[in-house]
């Protein structure tokens, strides 16, 4: 057993599960997409990205790239959310929620790729 | 003359063949256009046609379609001229087309085109390749072996049928082939002799003079390339030795005789050879017993002297049976006559350990095998198969070993090309003391059998350690790590297991060679290791040598943290350090 693999796998899979939990629900219904869950999705994704820094192998580079994609999409979603609630005079509308959830769905795809690559690499090592 | 190469000859031939037709076409067109330029048009537009319109008219009528009288209706005089110019044009075009067809069918033109294609294919070869002159039995066996090993081959042969045969084979490598005389240096140059990725030149034609010429040409034009030539040893050795390059002579009789003698001494040699080359029915588990005692050799023909030498050097007691022995040479050790039951009994077959049916007639050899088996069922039988197409007969004859002289020498050439270090291995086998040799061979075979597997098709390849390559190995060495053969040969999937692979020969950077190097050898720049292993091992090994993490894990048994965060954590809290695997 390898401590790094445990920590690494934990954060990668947690990022995926939280992301799924956030995205599920009616796409335009703000009540189905709690802000707290979104906060954790962003934080866990950023942690997973930081953990990937420094790996010089090919697989490591691929994992880092997918994580960066996920974080980028989530950060954009967060900016839209903040703007809607604090800056815009309309507040959170269904249209804005659709934008946020579709960006988070994109991040979900990146997270699925990450976990798939992680599992594939572990299976290939066979130890 | 340099102007005779195919690529330059094609435009020249086209010009020479097409000169007259093009001249005629030009004349016909010019005459017609001059006519159009002076003949007046109809009453409404009495001016003659301009050059542009007349060329336009000639162009669209040349295809015999014709759109009518364009751009304006013609006068009667113009119509008369149209008749003249159209017939003249058709004749000129027919003549030109005929000339083109004659050119395409011309034998020299086809040869020039083939040469041009060949030169282009050779230019496109980016990978290392071997030039093979002579695509006979040995040549085709060799190219098949090269194809299995993934080394490209450029083929030259004088016989067009053989070259056509090249294109029908399913080689996995590019094989540009040309009908040509290999004695012409320009042809060898076109075959890529001067290129830096030309690894070797092999001359295997039936004509020794051609082979010698090819060897000399190759040595002079490209000293970097290895040269292998099929030549009778005593005649040419001195001449070629003066060139001082990397030349290997292959004397088929000599090679076969030596191989046969080594096999009689210990059949494991032949079996190991067959197994290394991946012969279909080779199995390391067979022929573990060495038959001791007298041998009978039937057939003392063309390779007689080479055989006698080889036997004497090895100290093997041999009785020879051959019809072509002069009566005054006959004696208890040399029996004149065909190998019949009578002569075999006289040679002492009931007490002999083994018999070689080595005549140059396959029918004779088969009858010797049957006779020998009838007289002494337990005898070890080696039979020489001369013609490849008789394989079914020989398989049915139940000999212990079947040897094909062409196969033996083709494989020797193949090994010289794909695994040069193997020569060192067999030299060591040949030169060591009798007792030590048997023990050594058994040791090697046992290792190969246990580690690689007796019935798998093995792969031979050379691992080269450079200053910068392989990347991960070089980086770790630069950090001061001592990486041994044992480290890199561990299985990345399970560190305590070993890859199914055995290092056969090590050639250190300073030229020092060691057969069966110890696994504790520390790899350093300039090392070359000849490895023999299962098909997939080269890929696994390559991946290991390019990946720092895998290599470090194999050396230490510790999966070092890859990310900066974990590296920092482990420095901060050393207790978290993973335990080293056993």
Which residues in A lie closer than 8 A to residue B562 (C-beta atoms)?
Answer: 4, 54-57, 60
Order of strands, sheet of B198-203, starting from the edge strand that comes earlier in the sequence = B177-179, B152-157, B129-133, B198-203, B226-230, B247-250
Whether the per-residue pLDDT at A90 is higher than 60: the answer is yes
Residues B308 and B408 in one domain: yes
How far apart (Å, rounded) are the C-alpha atoms in residues B54 and B71? 10
B153 close to B175: Cβ distance less than 8 angstroms: yes
Which residues in B lie closer than 8 A to residue A53 (C-beta atoms)?
Answer: 563-565
B420 close to B379: Cβ distance less than 8 angstroms: no
Q: Which residue of B has its CA nearest to A4?
A: B561
B328 burial via Cβ count (<10 Å: 0-12, 13-18, 19+): exposed
Which residues in B lie closer than 8 A to residue A56 (C-beta atoms)?
Answer: 548, 562
Q: Which residues of A touch B (CB under 8 A)?
A: 1-5, 7-8, 50-57, 60, 125-127
User: What CA dihedral angle connects B24, B28, B34 and B40, to 10 degrees?
Assistant: 180
Whether the per-residue pLDDT at B288 is higher than 70: the answer is no
DSSP state string for B235-282:
HHHHHHHTT-SSEEEE-HHHHHHHHHHHHHH-THHHHHHHHHHT-TT-
- Per-residue pLDDT, averaged over B519-548, amounts to 88
- Report pLDDT for B580: 56
Strands B501-507 and B528-533: antiparallel
Q: What is the mean pLDDT of chain A?
A: 90
Distance, in angstroms, between A50 CA and closest chain B CA?
A: 7
Beta carbons of A55 and B548 less than 8 Å apart: no
B376 close to B294: Cβ distance less than 8 angstroms: no
Among candidate residues B76, B105, B134, the one where a domain is terminated: B105
Domain contains B441: no
Specify which of A76-80, B242-246, B330-334, B513-517 reaches the highest per-range mean pLDDT: A76-80
> Where exactly are the structural domains of chain A?
3-125
How far apart (Å, rounded) are the C-alpha atoms in residues B186 and B188? 5
Strands B501-507 and B513-515: antiparallel
Residues B27 and B131 in one domain: no
B206 close to B133: Cβ distance less than 8 angstroms: no
Residue B290: pLDDT band (50, 70, 90) is low
B198 close to B131: Cβ distance less than 8 angstroms: yes
ipTM: 0.73
CATH number at B480 reads 3.30.70.1450
Q: How many C-beta neighbours within 10 Å does residue B64 have?
A: 10
Beta carbons of B576 and A3 less than 8 Å apart: yes
How far apart (Å, rounded) are the C-alpha atoms in residues B311 and B206? 27
**Count of structural domains within chain B:** 4
Whether the per-residue pLDDT at A118 is higher than 80: the answer is yes
N-to-C CA span, chain A:
9
Domain containing B363 equals 258-418
N-to-C CA span, chain B:
70
Tell which residue, B182, B154, B148, has the closest CA to residue B166.
Answer: B154
How far apart (Å, rounded) are the C-alpha atoms in residues B574 and B580? 14
Q: How many C-beta neighbours within 10 Å does residue B506 have?
A: 23
Residues B92 and B131 in one domain: no
Instruction: Count residue pairs from A and B with Cβ separation < 8 A.
Output: 47
Residues B245 and B266 in one domain: no
Residues B10 and B89 in one domain: yes
B157 close to B204: Cβ distance less than 8 angstroms: no
Partnered with residue B505 across adjacent β-strands are B515, B530
Residues B238 and B277 in one domain: no
B130 close to B201: Cβ distance less than 8 angstroms: yes
Residue B2: pLDDT band (50, 70, 90) is very low
CA distances from B188 to B118, B130, B161, B184, B191 (A): 12, 12, 20, 7, 5
Beta carbons of B548 and A51 less than 8 Å apart: no
CATH number at B389 reads 3.40.50.720
Residues B132 and B241 in one domain: yes
Instruction: Retrieve residue B217's tokens.
Output: 């040409």
CA distances from A10 to A39, A47, A66, A108 (A): 18, 11, 16, 16
Q: Which residue of A has its CA nearest to B492?
A: A125
How far apart (Å, rounded) are the C-alpha atoms in residues B505 and B461? 11
Which residues in B lie closer than 8 A to residue A60 (C-beta atoms)?
Answer: 562
Give the residue from B561, B576, B581 with the most A CB atoms within 10 Å of its CB, the best one to mutate: B561
- Say which of A2, A54, A127 has its CB closest to residue B564: A54
B495 close to B511: Cβ distance less than 8 angstroms: no
B340 close to B292: Cβ distance less than 8 angstroms: no
Beta carbons of B566 and A51 less than 8 Å apart: yes
Instruction: Retrieve residue B374's tokens.
Output: 């009838």
Residue B305: pLDDT band (50, 70, 90) is low
Give the residue from A54, A59, A63, A124 with the most B CB atoms within 10 Å of its CB, the best one to mutate: A54
Which residues in B lie closer than 8 A to residue A4 (C-beta atoms)?
Answer: 559, 561-563, 566
Whether the per-residue pLDDT at B3 is higher than 50: the answer is no
Q: What are phi and psi of B535, to 5 degrees?
A: -50, -40
How far apart (Å, rounded) are the C-alpha atoms in residues B327 and B332? 12
The string of pLDDT tens digits covering residues B428-473 is 877 777 677 778 888 888 888 888 887 788 888 888 888 888 888 8
Residues B303 and B398 in one domain: yes
- Per-residue pLDDT, averaged over B21-29, amounts to 92
Tell which residue, B386, B527, B550, has the closest CA to residue B472.
Answer: B550
Residues B201 and B159 in one domain: yes
The string of pLDDT tens digits covering residues B88-98 is 988 999 999 99
- For chain A, say whether B576 makes contact (Cβ under 8 Å): yes
- Report pLDDT for B343: 84
Cβ contacts of B112 within 8 Å, gap of 6 or more? B6, B9, B10, B13
Q: What are phi and psi of B570, to 5 degrees?
A: -70, -35
Beta carbons of B563 and A55 less than 8 Å apart: yes
Q: Which residue of A has its CA nearest to B575?
A: A3
Distance, in angstroms, between B563 CA and closest chain A CA?
A: 4
Chain B segment 381-440 residues within 8 A of A by beta carbon are: none
The string of pLDDT tens digits covering residues B342-360 is 888 888 888 888 888 888 8
Residues B369 and B500 in one domain: no
Cβ contacts of B163 within 8 Å, gap of 6 or more? B135, B155, B157, B177, B178, B179
The percent of chain A in helix, strand and coil, each rounded to the nearest 5, is: 80, 0, 20
Whether the per-residue pLDDT at B215 is higher than 50: the answer is yes
B234 burial via Cβ count (<10 Å: 0-12, 13-18, 19+): exposed
Domain contains B444: no
- Per-residue pLDDT, averaged over B397-424, amounts to 83
Instruction: Retrieve residue B576's tokens.
Output: 């978290």
Distance, in angstroms, between A30 CA and closest chain B CA?
A: 36
Beta carbons of B565 and A126 less than 8 Å apart: no
Domain contains B350: yes
Q: Is B313 left (phi over 0), alpha (psi -120 to 50) or beta?
A: alpha
The string of pLDDT tens digits covering residues B160-199 is 888 888 888 888 888 899 888 888 888 888 888 888 889 8
> Among all chains, which residue has been given the structure tokens 């080889």?
B310
- Per-residue pLDDT, averaged over B384-408, amounts to 83
Residues B140 and B58 in one domain: no
Whether the per-residue pLDDT at A14 is higher than 90: the answer is yes
Which residues in A lie closer than 8 A to residue B566 (C-beta atoms)?
Answer: 3-4, 7-8, 51
Among candidate residues B74, B105, B136, the one where a domain is terminated: B105
How far apart (Å, rounded) are the C-alpha atoms in residues B261 and B316? 9
- Say which of B495, B547, B565 has its CB closest to residue A51: B565
- Count CA within 13 A, CB hemisphere, residue B190: 30
Counting DSSP H helices and E strands in chain A, the numbers are 4, 0
- Report pLDDT for B308: 66
Cβ contacts of B550 within 8 Å, gap of 6 or more? B472, B492, B543, B544
Whether the per-residue pLDDT at B103 is higher than 70: the answer is yes
Instruction: Retrieve residue B534's tokens.
Output: 């299962």
CB burial string B200-215: b at 16+ within 10 A, e below:
bbbbbbeebebbbbbb
- Say which of A7, A54, A127 has its CB closest to residue B493: A127
Cis peptide before B71 (omega within 30 of 0): yes
Residues B322 and B174 in one domain: no
Beta carbons of B562 and A56 less than 8 Å apart: yes
Partnered with residue B501 across adjacent β-strands are B533
- Per-residue pLDDT, averaged over B262-270, amounts to 77
> Among all chains, which residue has been given the structure tokens 């390779």?
B303
- For chain A, say whether B324 makes contact (Cβ under 8 Å): no
Among candidate residues B105, B137, B168, the one where a domain is terminated: B105
Partnered with residue B382 across adjacent β-strands are B356, B401
Distance, in angstroms, between B476 CA and closest chain A CA?
A: 14
């Amino acid at each position: 057993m390898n401590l790094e693999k445990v920590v690494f796998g934990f954060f990668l899979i947690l990022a995926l599960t939280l992301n799924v939990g956030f995205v599920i629900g009616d796409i335009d219904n703000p009540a189905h997409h709690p802000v707290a869950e979104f906060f954790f999705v962003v934080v866990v994704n950023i942690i997973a990205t930081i953990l990937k820094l420094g790996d010089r192998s090919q697989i490591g580079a691929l994992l880092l790239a997918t994580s960066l994609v996920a974080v980028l999409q989530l950060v954009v979603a967060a900016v839209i959310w903040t703007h809607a609630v604090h800056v815009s005079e309309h507040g959170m509308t269904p249209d804005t929620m659709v934008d946020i959830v579709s960006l988070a769905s994109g991040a979900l795809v990146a997270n699925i790729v990450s976990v798939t690559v992680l599992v594939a690499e572990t299976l290939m090592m066979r130890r | 003359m340099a102007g005779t190469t195919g690529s330059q000859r094609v435009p020249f031939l086209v010009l020479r063949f097409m000169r007259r037709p093009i001249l005629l076409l030009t004349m016909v067109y010019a005459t017609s256009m001059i006519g159009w330029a002076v003949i007046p048009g109809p009453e409404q537009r009495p001016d003659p046609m301009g050059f542009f319109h007349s060329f336009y008219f000639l162009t669209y009528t040349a295809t015999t379609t014709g759109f009518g009288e364009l751009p304006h209706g013609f006068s009667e005089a113009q119509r008369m001229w149209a008749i003249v110019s159209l017939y003249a044009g058709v004749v000129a075009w027919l003549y030109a087309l005929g000339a083109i067809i004659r050119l395409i069918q011309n034998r020299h033109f086809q040869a020039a085109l083939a040469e041009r294609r060949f030169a282009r294919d050779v230019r496109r070869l980016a990978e290392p390749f071997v030039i093979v002159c002579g695509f006979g039995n040995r040549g085709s066996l060799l190219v098949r072996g090269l194809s299995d090993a993934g080394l490209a081959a450029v083929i030259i042969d004088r016989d067009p049928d053989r070259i056509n045969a090249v294109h029908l084979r399913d080689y996995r490598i590019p094989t540009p082939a040309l009908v040509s005389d290999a004695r012409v240096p320009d042809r060898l140059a076109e075959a890529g002799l001067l290129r830096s990725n030309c690894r070797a030149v092999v001359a295997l034609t039936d004509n020794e003079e051609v082979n010698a010429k090819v060897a000399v040409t190759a040595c002079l034009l490209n000293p970097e390339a290895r040269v292998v030539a099929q030549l009778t040893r005593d005649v040419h050795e001195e001449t070629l030795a003066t060139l001082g390059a990397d030349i290997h002579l292959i004397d088929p009789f000599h090679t076969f005789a030596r191989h046969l003698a080594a096999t009689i001494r210990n059949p494991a040699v032949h079996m190991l050879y067959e197994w290394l080359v991946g012969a279909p029915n080779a199995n390391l588990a067979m022929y573990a017993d060495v038959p001791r005692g007298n041998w009978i050799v039937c057939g003392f023909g063309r390779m007689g002297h080479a055989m006698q030498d080889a036997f004497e050097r090895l100290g093997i007691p041999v009785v020879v049976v051959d019809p072509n022995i002069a009566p005054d040479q006959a004696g208890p050790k040399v029996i004149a006559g065909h190998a019949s039951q009578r002569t075999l009994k006289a040679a002492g077959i009931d007490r002999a350990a083994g018999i070689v049916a080595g005549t140059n007639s396959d029918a004779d050899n088969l009858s010797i095998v049957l006779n020998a088996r009838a007289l002494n069922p337990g005898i070890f039988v080696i039979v020489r198969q001369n013609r490849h197409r008789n394989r079914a007969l020989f398989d049915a004859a139940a000999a212990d070993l079947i040897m094909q002289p062409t196969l033996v020498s083709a494989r020797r050439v193949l090994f010289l090309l794909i695994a040069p270090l193997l020569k060192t291995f067999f030299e060591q086998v040949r030169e060591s003391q009798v007792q030590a040799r048997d023990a050594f061979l058994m040791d090697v075979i046992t290792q190969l059998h246990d580690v690689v597997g007796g019935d798998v098709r093995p792969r031979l390849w050379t691992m080269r350690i450079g200053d910068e390559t392989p990347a991960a190995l070089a980086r770790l060495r630069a950090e001061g790590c001592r990486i041994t053969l044992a480290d890199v040969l561990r299985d990345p999937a399970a560190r305590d297991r070993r890859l199914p692979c055995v290092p056969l020969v090590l050639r250190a950077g300073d030229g020092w060679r060691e057969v069966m190097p110890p696994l504790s050898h520390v790899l350093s720049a300039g090392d070359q290791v000849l490895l023999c292993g299962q098909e997939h091992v080269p890929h696994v090994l390559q991946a290991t040598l390019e990946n720092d993490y895998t290599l470090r894990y194999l050396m230490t048994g510790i999966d070092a943290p890859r990310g900066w965060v974990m590296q920092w954590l482990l420095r901060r809290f050393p207790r978290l350090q993973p335990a080293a695997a056993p």
